[in-house]
Amino acid sequence: MCLVALSATVGVNAQGTFKVADYCLKNNLAYTSTVGADGKTVNTTVAFAAGTVISDVPNITFTASGATDWMLTGDYTTNTVNTTYNGIEYGQIGQAQGQSNGKDGYVDGGTTSSVAIFTPAKDGKLDIIFKFGYNKKFYVAELTDAALDEIDLADSAQVHPYAYNNSQYWGGYWNADNGQYYEGTAVDGTSATKSYFTGCTLDVKAGKYYYVWASGSKIMLCGYNYTVTAVEPKTANVTFIVDDSKLKTSTGYGLKGSWITATGAYDTNWDGGAEHTKFFDDGTNGDKVAGDHIWSVTVKLIADAAATWKWGVNNAKGNWLYGDFEFKVTDAADQTLNHENTVGVNDMKSSATIVKTEYYNTLGVKLSQPANGLNIIKKTMSDGSIVTSKRYINK
């Protein structure tokens, strides 16, 4: 099997296009028609071996398969007539041409059978553009590794269950007048000698093989276009909790972390240090019970299994309190992250002054003055906020 490098264009929308005519011009493989001394037309074709893999378009390969060689045909240097399919122009003079298949529905119909095999690495849409006549029947089979191991490709009855679309792309004729595919047994004989151009669009899936062939005529591909289907990223609902139910001193918290606020995508710069959102203690936004001093908020993050995520907490005034807590978002599974507030500080950097100081023991009993042992100190500030701390006193 030989590898042929073909030209393709790839855009930001993960789209790749292969055009036979462009390839032949680029590689000086022009099919030419000249008139000999005897007045007869002499044609030159360029053959490429059956089994050649064309994989220049990202995420998909095209294999020109069959019992005999394929040919590159067309007068590329002088004929610039194009046909358009789904907004893309393809040269009418310039085809990758397989040999005729005389067996209806047979992929392997003998020594004259050819088939184009498309193998996508990702889900996407595949436009196949080709030349045809009224008497050409068209087939597409969507096969798997298991099917290829088990069925006889020369048996139409075994291949038929794998028809890509039984009503549209399996053994009907092409209607050249309106470009639509239809089932039929008879056609207008006056048009039988004409050539027409059209295309088909397949929704293809990674891990499957799309066998495309014709009977009653040669398969003549002008080119193909493949667009990878956009995949929505996996997102997880992550609930962050700051539990202040023991000290009950905070008037609110703010969430910071290693992601972009607008998108939920991982960001080592913590979105420039911006606070993503406030926490809630009102029974909304991921908070379960209003007024229980358990502050919560749920955000949607885009899964990134390779990243080590971090989060931290601001106080009610937007000043950094504590954090750098690590977590992972490997998939779309919801998760809850808890932190128990123990520092008793809501507004460490506040300019407010102390208006009252109270002391409590570890059981929460108010003391008239500091006592030996561990004391909980509660300070009421001039702005109404509460600041608590712990101090061990040994008189």
Residue 348 lies in a domain: no
Q: CA separation (Å) from 103 to 154, 161, 299, 335, 384?
A: 9, 17, 59, 58, 89
Task: List the domain range (segments joined by +) for residue 240.
Answer: 235-340
119/143 Cα distance (integer angstroms):
10
Residue 223 lies in a domain: yes
Instruction: Identify the domain boundary among 171, 202, 228.
Output: 228
- The verdict on 57 and 204 lying in the same domain is yes
- The verdict on 99 and 184 lying in the same domain is yes
- The verdict on 377 and 243 lying in the same domain is no
Residue 66 lies in a domain: yes
Which secondary-structure segment (H or E) carries 299?
strand 294-302
341/242 Cα distance (integer angstroms):
6
Q: CA separation (Å) from 300 to 241, 242, 282?
A: 15, 18, 20
Q: Among 91-100, 139-148, 228-237, name the one with the lowest average pLDDT.
A: 91-100
Q: CA separation (Å) from 83 to 15, 16, 42, 197, 223?
A: 19, 18, 26, 7, 11
Report the pLDDT value the prediction gives residue 39, as an integer from 0 to 100: 62
Residue 349 lies in a domain: no
pTM: predicted TM-score of the whole model, two decimal places: 0.58
Taking only the tens place, the pLDDT of each residue in 202-224 is 999 999 999 988 876 677 788 89
- The verdict on 137 and 189 lying in the same domain is yes
Q: Among 83-97, 327-341, 344-358, 375-389, name the one with the lowest average pLDDT.
A: 344-358
Residue 322 lies in a domain: yes
Taking only the tens place, the pLDDT of each residue in 303-320 is 999 999 999 999 998 888
Residue 279 lies in a domain: yes
- The verdict on 95 and 139 lying in the same domain is yes
Domains held by the chain: number: 3
Report the pLDDT value the prediction gives residue 183, as an integer from 0 to 100: 47
pLDDT at 58 over 50: yes
Taking only the tens place, the pLDDT of each residue in 335-356 is 999 999 987 654 444 556 778 8
In the chain, what percentage of residues exceed pLDDT 90?
35
- The verdict on 367 and 287 lying in the same domain is no
Residue 93 lies in a domain: yes
**Higher-pLDDT residue of 227, 96:** 227
Q: How many residues does the chain have?
A: 395
Give me the helices (H) in the chain, please.
20-26, 145-150, 156-159, 270-273
- The verdict on 322 and 361 lying in the same domain is no
Spatial CB neighbours of 19, under 8 Å, sequence gap ≥ 6: 7, 90, 91, 94, 222, 223
- The verdict on 293 and 374 lying in the same domain is no
Residue 347 lies in a domain: no
301, 259 Cβ separation under 8 angstroms: yes
Report the 10 Å Cβ neighbour count for 19.
24
- The verdict on 140 and 65 lying in the same domain is yes
- The verdict on 90 and 194 lying in the same domain is yes
DSSP calls for 87-137: TEEEESS-EEEPPP--STT-SS-STT-EEEEEEESS-EEEEEEEEE-TT-E
